[in-house]
Amino acid sequence: MRINGHGHILPEPSQIPAFMREKKLFWIDDDKKFMRQADWSRPINGASFFVKEKIEWMDQHNIDHGVMLCLSQLYCNGWKKQDCFDGIQFQNDFNASVQNDYPKKFTCGFVVQPMYIEHALKEIERCVKLNLRVLCLPSHFLNSKGEWMSTAESDVDPIYELANHHGLAIQIHPYDGEKMIALKNKYWRFHLIWMMAQCADTLHLFTLRDLPNKFPNLRTSFAHGGMLGIASYGRRIQGFDGRPDIFEELEDPRKTLGHKNLYFDTLVHDSHTLDLLKKRVGVSQLIMGLDDPFPLGEMEGVGTSYPGRVIDYAVENGILTKQEGKDIWCKNVLNWLNKREEDL
């Protein structure tokens, strides 16, 4: 069985509530050529953006099941309170409907906004009743003071406590980097560079606060292989050892390296980076992540890319065994989800 642990689906334009287009929060053109948010837009030019096309694309590439996460545009950072609540409910209801309509094809995630803790806790309870078991969190969120915070901060602990109670899988994904850093948005720098730093920042605090052990029923996956968080591991260790005054009452990052409840998807784009990730955390902690349907995902038609290319190259070059490649596609994803193959 081949399971993709990181994908996305767009709703049809007609499914998106009218207020989201009217307020320029998020919408899709009626001709389905662009998705939009305020002054931002992205072309819809791939084969797997919408449900029916997604299933056809999965069948074409022998992908049996997909974990469909929330849309990053609907983390709702900076939205007005009621718009945030309504937007999140729309996203979660849409994902629940996809999972309910196609249970053999999709496991879907749901999102909450950490700025509004009480609402987030209620939404977790509501989504668990909808049989959604993958909690999608942004790497950072905008708090009530207008400050950007990591979702590994203690302010977010009530969310982790409730998710731990329900034994949820968690996926942490970066977005909104251009709103945090005073750099001109050129050369796609926020997607290519700063997103990787966002994951690293939250992984850094996640391990310093020992959250994998503090909340032992959670299984957390970091998008894009944790990227700079893995490459900067040695620097983080030296900083911890060299400035103990900064890290009082925090845990040594070595304590959670390779932790059984910390997972990383394989969207790292080349087999050499995958090799470093494997050596750092162990192959059992790697799950397949295609990030379809976006051009930075493993999509056909973008250079030499195709779904599963990094794993195939790693097997060909002796970085992974064939069995390890199969486990990344199936066993490891199931462990993250806490499911059995027959459950899908």
Residue for token pair 């590994």: 152
pLDDT band at 187 (very low <50, low <70, confident <90, very high): confident
Q: Mean pLDDT across the stretch 76-94?
A: 96
In the chain, what are the domain boundaries? 3-338
**pLDDT surpasses 80 at 188:** no
pLDDT of residue 277: 96
What average pLDDT score do residues 296-324 get? Answer: 94
State pTM to two decimals. Answer: 0.95
CATH number of the 3-338 domain: 3.20.20.140
In this prediction, residues 240-262 reach a mean pLDDT of 96
> How far is Cα 285 from Cα 283, in angstroms, rounded to an integer?
5
pLDDT at 182 over 80: no
Share above pLDDT 70 across residues of the chain, in percent, rounded to a whole number: 100
pLDDT at residue 143 is higher than 90: yes
pLDDT of 179 > 90? The answer is no
More confident residue, 47 or 291: 291
